[in-house]
Structure 1
Amino acid sequence: MEIFWSNDDGLSEPCSFSDSNSLNVVVGPYIHSIICILGLVGNSLVIFTYALYKRTKSMTDVYLLNVAIADLLFVLALPFIVYNELYSWPMGQVACKLLRGSYSVNLYSGMLMLACISTDRYIAIVQARRSFGLRSVSNSRIICFLIWIFALLVSVPTFHFHHWYEPTHNEITWFNSNEQEETTDPQYVCEWKFDDINTASIVKVAVPSTQLAIGFFLPLFIMIFCYTSVIITLQKAKNFQRHKAVRVVMVVMLVFIVCHLPYNLTLLYDTVSYFEHRDCDAESSLRTAMSVLQTVAYLHCCLNPLLYAFIGVNFRNHFRRTFQNLCWTAAPRRRTGCSASTRGPASGPGSAR
């Protein structure tokens, strides 16, 4: 959505958004670099642990693996998304559609997988007597496959309406009374592009509305219901491990809400007020807020491995054994550098899940 203001001569000029652009240029690259590095390392370790040793032996394992894949694909695409928003897009039409579309697919799939994890824990703890036959690996694989297909389908508008093009305002030559403003080299972007204003209005409201409904509020309500029921059930148990699990569940819910709620509420306001007039200052403030809060939401992909995988005793044991085996294999002449425990199987209590 291009915002214009009228100058003293009655001509409409585009808003500059210099404040929000300055914030993105100065702060954005450093924060996003940290997110990319942490997300890449954490999610890669989860995937390697499942691939090399642990395997997927339960529904939660399958969901965790798919969450890690979605988050890893997201952090791999994030540098290109940030570069496109700050500068221009030099890689052409196909890469543009793949970039924007994959972002949407990973967003929906990752959030819905988190809802599936909460549902699985609800069935395992609250409905334990009825869970026989429901929590099978084959069922979870089918559910994950359907989620990926569904995420792809709801992302079709994102694939279709994102294009690589030169914005029309770059082609405009501005005149004043005496001189012509100098033109600049073409700057191509990877953004929304529509053939008519009616289609633009529908899509620019429908897509964020779908993202809010399916990509945030639906997983949020599922997680609140399931984890609240889990907490109530665990509170009745006179067991230290169960009370420890309550704290873990509360941390999971709190981190999810803190990371995603502020940005999605801002996106909701932006969508609801899409057809209302906003001057340049108001629009600049909104864009700055959305940029900052979106970065906070991105942090969740770094925290998912800690919240869902490494917090489990079994997973930590399997990860430790995988790391020790790699150390033992990679340095056969320096085995004394590895602890003596690497020579035997990792031991530990049962799953903390």
Structure 2
Amino acid sequence: MDNDTSTTYYDVLIEDDFTEDLRPQCHKHDDKAFEAQVLPVFYTVIFLLGLGANGFLALILIKYKQLRELVDVFFLNMTIANFLFLFTFPFWIYTAKHSWDLGDPICRLISGVYSVGFYGYTCFLVLSIIHRYMAVVHVGRFHIATRKTAYSIIAGMWGLALLASLPEFILFQVQMEGSNYICHFVQPHYLPGEEKSWSHFLALKMNILGFLIPVSIAIFCFWRIKKTSRYKEKKYEILRFIFVKSLVFMGLWTPYNLVLFLRTFREQLNLNDCENSYQLDRAAQITKIIANTYCCINPVVYELLHFTFYKCLYCPFHPQNNAEGHLRERPI
């Protein structure tokens, strides 16, 4: 998202770099050098851990749990969203050291897939929270009548993720910036308004759809569940690790969303001087790395908190106990 020499992958989820750049006069740091040294290492680690953690989680859900519970189907879709997210990482690793030389179609495709992975995970996380809320707070009055209805809801969630990602699929393209080619939002002639206004819109899209709405829904649902007597009467295992997954996800993305808002509206907030611009640009780089670790940390949360994980480790050494039904989930 940096204005002069930033590489593509800070411009994929949103694009907020349309303010006038002050850093050529500041000469405080070389973004390209920082990205080339730091980002390939971190993103390679995230990519490898993410593939392993999400692959093992998919194995648990499909082979051992056999998707018997609807919430397991939601978790599987979160895993698919993580795989879409991880699919783009080799491109960011490559462009950390090189300019974007892959053309406009690949730019739009990778930008869109990255966005779909993020919003898809967010949608299914929110859906799992609402599902638990309805099951606990409105027990006896809520159920999904048919498998067809459940599949329709799942398709709707992916539709929302695609809709939120349309700007990345349609409006991103390769442009020369400084001495590098980068892939980011470029306002076409048919869009009304100023480019800066669109940059504000895209940043707010991320802040609202990817952060404020999920956080608000999670706070409301968990608050109501906590006040429900049925919650106090029984231990809800699935509810516990949905809560932890939500806490981890939101905790990882909160710093980046705050920095993104400050960075996008720094002129309005009187943060456009050289020193503040430098601090916000560097903070955006660091917090984005932290936020992207969610795709490998959240599967680990599931695997460590859910009892099936330990039985999956136990079964290879005790195959005689891995009979049909042995791993059936405990009632919750």
> How far has the Cα of 1:137 moved from its partner?
4.0
Alignment of 1:306-345 (within 5 A): 306-308=300-302, 311-314=305-308, 317=311, 319-320=312-313, 324=316, 338-341=317-320, 344-345=323-324
Matched, 1:279 2:273: yes
Matched, 1:255 2:221: no
Match of 2:160 in 1: 150
How big is each residue's C-alpha offset from its partner over 1:95-129, in whole Å with a ceiling of 9 and x where there is no partner? 11101111111111111110111111111222212
Relative to 1, partners in 2 of residues 1:277 and 1:257: Cα closer, same or farther, differing over 3 Å? closer
Relative to 1, partners in 2 of residues 1:17 and 1:24: Cα closer, same or farther, differing over 3 Å? farther
State percent identity of aligned pairs.
25
Note the residue ranges of structure 1 that are not aligned, 5 or more in a row.
7-12, 171-186, 325-337
Superposed CA RMSD in Å reads 3.1
Match of 1:56 in 2: 67
> How far has the Cα of 1:311 moved from its partner?
2.7
Question: 8 Å contact 1:59–1:120 — kept in the other structure?
Answer: no
Q: Amino acid of the residue matched to residue 295 of structure 1? A: I
Q: Amino acid of the residue matched to residue 142 of structure 1? A: S
The CA distance in 1 between the partners of 2:264 and 2:21, in whole Å, is: 19
Alignment of 1:153-302 (within 5 A): 153-167=163-177, 169-170=178-179, 187-195=180-188, 198-233=193-228, 237-239=232-234, 241-242=235-236, 248=241, 251-273=244-266, 278-302=272-296
Secondary structure at 1:273 match in 2? coil
Matched, 1:140 2:150: yes
Question: 8 Å contact 2:65–2:329 — kept in the other structure?
Answer: no
Query: Alignment length, in residue pairs?
Result: 312
> How far has the Cα of 1:198 moved from its partner?
4.2
Instruction: List 4+ stretches of structure 1 deviating above 6 A.
Output: none
**Alignment TM-score, normalising by the size of structure 1:** 0.76
The CA distance in 1 between the partners of 2:102 and 2:172, in whole Å, is: 14
Q: Amino acid of the residue matched to residue 292 of structure 1? A: I
More relative contact order, 1 or 2 (CA 8 Å, 6+ apart): 2
Could you say which structure has the larger radius of gyration? 1
Question: 8 Å contact 2:241–2:306 — kept in the other structure?
Answer: no
Secondary structure at 1:18 match in 2? coil
Relative to 1, partners in 2 of residues 1:4 and 1:128: Cα closer, same or farther, differing over 3 Å? closer
Note the residue ranges of structure 2 that are not aligned, 5 or more in a row.
1-17
> How far has the Cα of 1:236 moved from its partner?
5.7
Q: Amino acid of the residue matched to residue 351 of structure 1? A: R
Relative to 1, partners in 2 of residues 1:199 and 1:102: Cα closer, same or farther, differing over 3 Å? farther
Question: 8 Å contact 1:96–1:162 — kept in the other structure?
Answer: yes
> How far has the Cα of 1:264 moved from its partner?
0.9
